[in-house]
Amino acid sequence: MRKTVLWTLVAAAALRLAVLAGAGDALADWIAAAGAADTALVAAEPDTDETAAAPESAAPVLRPVIVTPRVRQEEAQSAGELSPPPEPVPADLSEPVAVHDRSGWNIDVAALEREGLNLRLSPDAPQILILHTHSSEAYTPDETDRYVASDPYRTEDKTQSVIRVGDALAEALEESGLRVLHDREIYDYPSYTGSYSRSGAAVERWLADYPSLRIVIDLHRDAIGSGDVVYRTRAVLDGASCAQVMLLAGTGANGLSHPNWRENLKLALWLQRTAEASCPGLMRPLEIVPERYNQQLSPGSLILEVGSTGNSLREAVLAATYFGRAVGPGLAEYITNAAD
């Protein structure tokens, strides 16, 4: 633990020197937010259906910056072996959840948490949908995972993109008896523009075919960097290095109708607290934003960012597995409630 803390301080100091040397305001903001939230990274500005950003135009130089968060166990433990699914951890509301509220509404997060979840899952029908608006998002190739790029950090190979990460999350959730549907279609290639319109239409079709769906997860890979530097998120769990995970909840504060935002945000807060309690350091701060990202289509709709461009696919798959195993048992309890 002392070595981890020392490394964190050294890494943070190095980053501050980079800012003084002219790395830019974006990196300065990143450092300030990371230090305040006790986490590895703060999310980059996301792209949306209303203000879609273009894909990365050129592959930047990869210089991963690793800032290690709190560790769950000593790093010398089992190299890469996953522990059994963690026991559900009761919520402790005495400590605030790490949240970045960019909605402009100054939301009372603690009050929402105290309200609890209004979640009822059917015991005998699909409950969770996973899909990918930016389905071709990929990670940094390594010696075991390589792909033919359609654009920088993007590929149509579903075994090497966020679709593979979605497979891992679905498998982990199903270990707790949850029923999961995984949409493995590509919605952002060959045309990146209109991705959210296409994935939104798909969500509506899924909801029409399976009215039992109560949770919709749009799983992405984040892109974090400054100039030609690409950042790698990192958590150390059970001695294994994995990516970090970030939840993003929309509000409709930009003026578009979003009647479900309170229930969506309550679910995000519950997932954030539950996952971080079982896997300290796994979660980046929850982002609350003005945009909707199709989350108005159904209660329980959220964006899940697993890792960043600097992470490997293996690190992202491991992070999704930890997240699914951490929240799965608690979500399964709502199946029993639904049957009462």
89 versus 156: the higher-pLDDT residue is: 156
Which domains are seen in the chain, by residue range? 46-339 (3.40.630.40)
Question: pLDDT tens digits, residue range 220-260?
Answer: 999 988 778 889 999 999 999 999 999 999 999 999 999 99
How many angstroms separate the CA atoms of 306 and 320, rounded?
Answer: 7
DSSP letter (8 states) at residue 309: T
DSSP letter (8 states) at residue 295: G
Whether residue 65 contacts residue 232, with contact meaning beta carbons closer than 8 Å, is answered with yes
- Per DSSP, the three-state class of 138 is strand
Question: pLDDT tens digits, residue range 39-72?
Answer: 444 333 333 444 344 444 443 333 333 333 322 2
DSSP letter (8 states) at residue 296: G
What share of the chain has pLDDT > 70, as a percent?
A: 69
Please state, in angstroms and as integers, the Cα–Cα distance from residue 24 to each residue in 30, 61, 74, following that order.
10, 16, 35
Cis omega (within 30 of 0) on the bond before 190?
yes
Burial of 338 (0-12, 13-18, 19+ CB in 10 A): middle
Output the six-digit token pair for 173: 């959730």
**What phi and psi values does residue 239 have, to the nearest 5 degrees?**
80, 0
